[in-house]
């Protein structure tokens, strides 16, 4: 599975690079808009990673299967990675469009909160012993942490005029020349997430002590 997702990811990266390189420059924002091909896919990948943590945490609480616990932790690690990339790439776009590296826009603020929530999850896992009790507590935390995800996505609608971010993308938000490379970048980001989660979960499985 890991080999095939790696091959698929390599193919998608190649295709996505070609599509972005040949796409037209945004008429309003200029070349700075190209950062959205990284920024937005990283956001979706972070969402997917944290949702995977929540789902696998729930499955672990029900079935007590350590495989779900390993996938939950792996997805949280990779989700935090993509959330970090999202937070780092955002100011590049913000400086070019808003004239400031950082403003306490509602979505920016909630994204930072989401990052801290799952960073705390990882710290909990790393600073405590790998006991079943720790796994159960982390599973509950990982499940409850998912509440922040819809809050983050709908922050623009919830806070109305207080948000500087543009509206969430609708079906006709992108022109035909931009829609295809944008969709390809999102699919590539999600594929990268699943590939890295599989790799990290496999590594965790290999490092786990053998059953007695």
Burial track 7-45 (b if 16+ CB lie within 10 A, e otherwise): eebeebeeebeebbeebeeeeeeeeebbbbbbbbbbbbb
And the tokens for 100? 């400031």
With the C-alpha atoms ordered 152, 157, 163, 168, is the resulting torsion angle positive or negative? positive
**pLDDT the model gives residue 106:** 79
Give the residues of the chain that fall short of pLDDT 70: 27-29, 128-130, 156-177, 208-212
Rounded Cα distance, 14 and 166, in Å = 29
**pLDDT the model gives residue 153:** 77
Planar angle of CA 196, 93, 82, nearest 5 degrees: 15
- What pTM was computed for the model? 0.87
**pLDDT the model gives residue 173:** 47
Please write the tens of the pLDDT for every residue from 103-131: 777 788 888 999 999 999 999 888 766 67
**pLDDT the model gives residue 208:** 67
**pLDDT the model gives residue 48:** 96
In a 10 Å sphere around its CB, with 0-12 CB exposed, 13-18 middle and 19+ buried, how is residue 62 labelled?
exposed
CATH entry 1.20.120 includes domain 2-207: yes
**pLDDT the model gives residue 72:** 94
Task: Return phi, psi of residue 143, to 5°.
Answer: -70, -45
Burial track 81-110 (b if 16+ CB lie within 10 A, e otherwise): bbbebbbebbbebbeebeeeeeeebbbbeb
């Amino acid at each position: 599975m890991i080999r095939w997702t790696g091959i698929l990811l390599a193919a998608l990266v190649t295709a996505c690079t070609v599509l972005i390189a040949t796409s037209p420059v945004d008429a309003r924002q200029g070349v700075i808009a190209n950062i959205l091909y990284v920024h937005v896919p990283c956001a979706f990948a972070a969402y997917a990673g944290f949702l995977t943590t929540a789902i696998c945490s729930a499955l672990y609480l029900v079935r007590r299967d350590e495989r779900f616990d390993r996938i939950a932790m792996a997805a949280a690690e990779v989700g935090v990675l993509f959330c970090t990339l999202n937070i780092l790439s955002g100011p590049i776009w913000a400086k070019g469009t808003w004239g400031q590296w950082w403003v306490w826009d509602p979505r920016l603020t909630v994204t930072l909160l989401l990052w801290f929530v799952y960073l705390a999850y990882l710290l909990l896992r790393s600073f405590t012993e790998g006991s079943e009790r720790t796994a159960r507590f982390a599973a509950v935390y990982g499940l409850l942490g998912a509440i922040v995800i819809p809050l983050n996505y709908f922050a623009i609608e919830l806070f109305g005029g207080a948000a500087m971010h543009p509206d969430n993308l609708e079906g006709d938000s992108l022109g035909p020349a931009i829609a295809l490379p944008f969709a390809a970048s999102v699919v590539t980001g999600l594929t990268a997430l699943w590939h890295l989660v599989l790799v990290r979960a496999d590594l965790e499985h290999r490092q786990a002590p053998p059953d007695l």
